[in-house]
Structure formats: C-alpha cells, structure tokens
C-alpha cells in the first residue's frame, strides 16, 4: 500500500504539471489584453515545460522503478485537464493577433469530441469502479495516439500565427485527426470497459452459483 501511494519524484513532477495548468489558462485568457500579447508566448513556454515534464516523469518512473497506481491515475488526469481546458478556451476565446481583427477559433465540434471522449472515459471509470470495486486503469494505444495528436493540435493553434505559409493547413489537418482519434478511442474504451464489466459479472456468478 505504501509503495502504491508513495509520492516519489515522478508523481511530484506530475503534480507540478497539473499546477502549471492554472498559469497556462490565465495566459490564454488574457492574451488579447492591450500590451499583453506576449502572454501567448508565455502560454507556449508553459505548454512546452509541461510537455517536457510529461516525458520526464515517465522516464524517471521507468528508470527508478517507481511506477505506482497513483502515477497511473495522475498522469492521464494531467493530460485530460490540460486538453479539456485548452480546447474549450481555444474554441470559445480563440487565439488573438494584433494583425487580425477577429481571433482564430477552434471549431466547436473538435472541442465536443475531445471533451466528450474524456467524459465517457471518466464516467466509465467511475461505473467500473462502483460495479467491480476495483480501479480499472489500462492505457490503450488509440487513447495515447489521441492524446498526442490533441496536444499537437493545441500547440499548432498557439503557433498558428507564426507558422510559415506552407504549414497554414496543419491545424486544420490536426482538427480532423484529433476528432477521428477521439471517436476511435471512445469506442475502444467502451469495448474494453464492457468486457471488464462482463468479466466481473462472470466471476461473481461463479463465486455465488446459487444466484
């Protein structure tokens, strides 16, 4: 139990990454204020720091043999909170530029797909835990791909104003890729979650055949 909940360096770094989401959101929300256009670059810098910390905590967990259930929960939680807040702000608030009158907005259907996937996964986690009494945390390849593309999408949106002409379509390509992967990841999690619930029901029926 102590090993599972021990707050080693990987988990400390993950918690630090979660705390950085606050300043990141503040920068995004205030980038359009007169004289504060530099906040977009501050947001990009914080985002880059969070990306590096994400790789670092995973590396240290493997290197120090310090993987834990707490880390398996906190690491995807940090990604989900970051992606959810970022896509909602980019959808509603957009990315502002002093050279353009209107901000660039992320399409609402991209945000719906991203937030919807995380809601389905979170609700599925809660239902599985309530039914089986066990936390079910199983990183899946479609989910990992989806998270990677979503993070790339956020970065591309923040850098959109500074991209060369030949990369102007990159955010739009990532819109579609992130949405398709979000749908695939959601279906995959539903399939795996259903199997887990069916397996738990079968085990209970074997333990109590009288029912």
DSSP sequence for 185-199: HHHHHHHHHHHHHHH
**Nearest by Cα to 110 from 171, 46, 41:** 171
pLDDT at 2: 43
- 21-46 tens-digit pLDDT: 999 999 999 988 888 888 989 999 99
End-to-end CA distance of the chain: 33
- Count structural domains, the chain: 1
State the pTM of this model.
0.84
User: Percent of the chain beyond pLDDT 70?
Assistant: 89
Domain at 81, CATH number: 1.20.120
* Range(s) of the domain holding residue 154: 2-207
């Amino acid at each position: 139990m102590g090993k599972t909940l021990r707050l080693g360096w990987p988990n400390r770094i993950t918690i630090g990454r979660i705390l950085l989401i606050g300043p990141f959101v503040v920068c995004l929300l205030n980038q359009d204020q007169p004289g504060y256009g530099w906040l977009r670059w501050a947001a990009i810098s914080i985002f880059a720091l969070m990306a590096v910390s994400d790789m670092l905590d995973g590396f240290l967990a493997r290197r120090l043999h310090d993987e834990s259930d707490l880390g398996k929960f906190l690491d995807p939680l940090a990604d989900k909170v970051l992606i959810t807040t970022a896509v909602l702000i980019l959808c509603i608030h957009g990315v502002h530029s002093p050279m353009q009158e209107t901000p660039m907005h992320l399409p609402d259907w991209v945000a719906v797909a991203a937030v919807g996937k995380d809601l389905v996964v979170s609700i599925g986690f809660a239902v599985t835990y309530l039914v089986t009494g066990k936390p079910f945390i199983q990183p899946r390849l479609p989910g990992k791909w989806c998270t990677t593309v979503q993070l790339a999408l956020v970065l591309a949106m923040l850098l959109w104003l500074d991209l060369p002409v030949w990369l102007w379509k990159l955010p739009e390509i990532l819109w579609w890729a992130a949405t398709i992967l979000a749908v695939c990841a959601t279906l995959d999690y539903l399939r795996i979650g259903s199997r887990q619930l069916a397996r738990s029901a079968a085990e209970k029926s074997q333990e109590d055949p009288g029912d």
